Structure 1
């Protein structure tokens, strides 16, 4: 009954198996990155108040290491410190 599960249920299960980015979820479930981010926000709310934790590895600049972005669920286009566009997108997991 794989098809009976919702996309959000599938995403939550994938995050329990290991870290995923919005891009990897987008490819895996044939949805847009924006849709993946909306699903991730909902999954984060659904895990709140349970014995599980929704963890976010924030976006990180590959050039200077900056990881203090305002919105860790967003993939910024450039680093505010060094202006580099070499930004690793955030990764998400449920533990």
Structure 2
């Protein structure tokens, strides 16, 4: 997998890590590592990584924007009905 392919897949099309992992044949943890590396490499590129945070579908709690993986439980209501974060790339 090349980072160019990852950028093209995410450019103006926010996607969850599970979808990306399936599309590129990687595990979710590996994909999270690739995205973290991509975030760091964007310091010198005309792109930026945009994270739409995970939310609890039961109570509406919004998790931290920096987190790329899906949390296990909501800290407010302890529900496991969590919508995973959506990750996209925008040109600056």
- TM range, smaller chain: 0.7 to 0.9
After TM superposition, the structure 1 stretch with the greater mean CA deviation from structure 2, 67-76 or 9-18, is 67-76
The alpha-carbon deviation at position 21 of structure 1 amounts to 1.0
Residue segments in structure 2 that go unaligned for 5+ positions in a row: none
Which structure 1 residue ranges, 5 or more long, are not aligned?
1-5
2:34 is aligned with 1:42: no
Aligned residue pairs, count: 90
1:18 equivalent in alignment to 2:4 = no
Q: Distance in 2 between matches of 1:70 and 1:94?
A: 14
The CA distance in 1 between the partners of 2:46 and 2:25, in whole Å, is 30
- Please report the RMSD computed on the Cα atoms of aligned residues, expressed in angstroms: 1.7
**Shift of residue 71, structure 1, vs aligned partner:** 4.7
- Output the CA distance in 2 between the equivalents of 1:45 and 1:34: 17
Q: Is the 8 A contact 2:51 2:66 kept in 1?
A: no
TM-score by length of 2: 0.86
- Which moves more between the two structures, 67-76 or 31-40? 67-76
Q: Match of 1:76? A: 71
Higher relative contact order (CA 8 A, sep 6+): 2
Give the alignment's TM-score, normalised by structure 1: 0.84
